[in-house]
Amino acid sequence: MGEGKGRGSSSKKASRSGRTETSGSTNLESLLRETSLVDTNSSGTGIVQHPNSTLANIRSLRSQDVLVLFTPVVPPPPGDATVRMDPFEPLGHALSKHHKRIRHVPYVPSVGMTETHLAFLQRGQYAGAVVVVVCDHPNATSVKGNGYDYQRAFAQAALDQISSNQDIPDIPTFLVLITGNQAQRGWDFSEFEGVLQSDSYTPSALQQISNRMFGA
């Protein structure tokens, strides 16, 4: 783990960029208008951009801010020889090249949010941004207890915790969605301001996600 927050609650009136929150559908429609499926690497991984205002927030994190990375405990991607490594460890490493303070905290989908995860979300002075990964790749969800609904519930729980805690400043929260069914699944996360999508979670695909997030 390396030293490595969606909003959408009506209780938070505006984002750091000054944009007033709207309903989930309007928010996602706006997001889709501002995004485009642009980069496709040799393995067929597509990366969808964040809205520019959201990207600016994460790219302007202060050196003392911590980016908290929540990732599901799932099997490695097909053909990955690094079977003993957390498949999302490369994402933590890639992010750390752009922002030094990364807290990588895995979650077990069937268990959901625990006191450990809550500790990172309740310390508003600690986390400067939160990234939640949902992996709907068949290689991951075929394992009992790793289902998409479990992971979606965890992502929503994280968002709810941030939105309901008035002591937490309005911070950028991102959803990284690993799935081939991008259009359908993307609508499931309309409350998240920032969404990146990829059809793969190989190390090279995770590097692409990190680069897109930080504009490398």
Q: How many domains does one find in the chain?
A: 1
| pLDDT in the model for residue 181 | 58
> What letter represents residue 86's amino acid?
D
pLDDT, one tens digit per residue, over 154-165 is 999 999 888 887
Domain membership of residue 190 as a residue range: 24-175+184-214
Place of tokens 């939160």: 130
| pLDDT in the model for residue 188 | 81
Considering only CA atoms, which of 59, 50, 94 is closest in space to residue 201? 94
For the chain, the helix, strand and coil percentages under 3-state DSSP, each to the nearest 5:
35, 20, 45
| pLDDT in the model for residue 51 | 65
- Given a contact cutoff of 8 angstroms between Cβ atoms, the answer to whether 45 and 36 are in contact is no
Give domain status of residue 156, yes or no.
Answer: yes
Bridge partners (DSSP) of residue 78 are none
- What token pair was written down for 55? 């990207």
pLDDT average, residue stretch 23-37: 38
Give domain status of residue 189, yes or no.
Answer: yes
pLDDT average, residue stretch 181-201: 77
Give domain status of residue 158, yes or no.
Answer: yes
What percent of the chain is modeled with pLDDT above 90? 31
Give domain status of residue 9, yes or no.
Answer: no
Rounded (10°) angle between helices 52-59 and 203-214: 100
SS3 37: strand
Give domain status of residue 193, yes or no.
Answer: yes
Give domain status of residue 147, yes or no.
Answer: yes
Bridge partners (DSSP) of residue 102 are 67
> What letter represents residue 93's amino acid?
H
Give domain status of residue 60, yes or no.
Answer: yes
pLDDT, one tens digit per residue, over 56-81 is 888 888 888 889 999 999 998 887 66
Q: Kindly report the CATH number assigned to the domain that includes residue 81.
A: 3.40.50
Q: Is the pLDDT of residue 26 over 80?
A: no
Give domain status of residue 115, yes or no.
Answer: yes
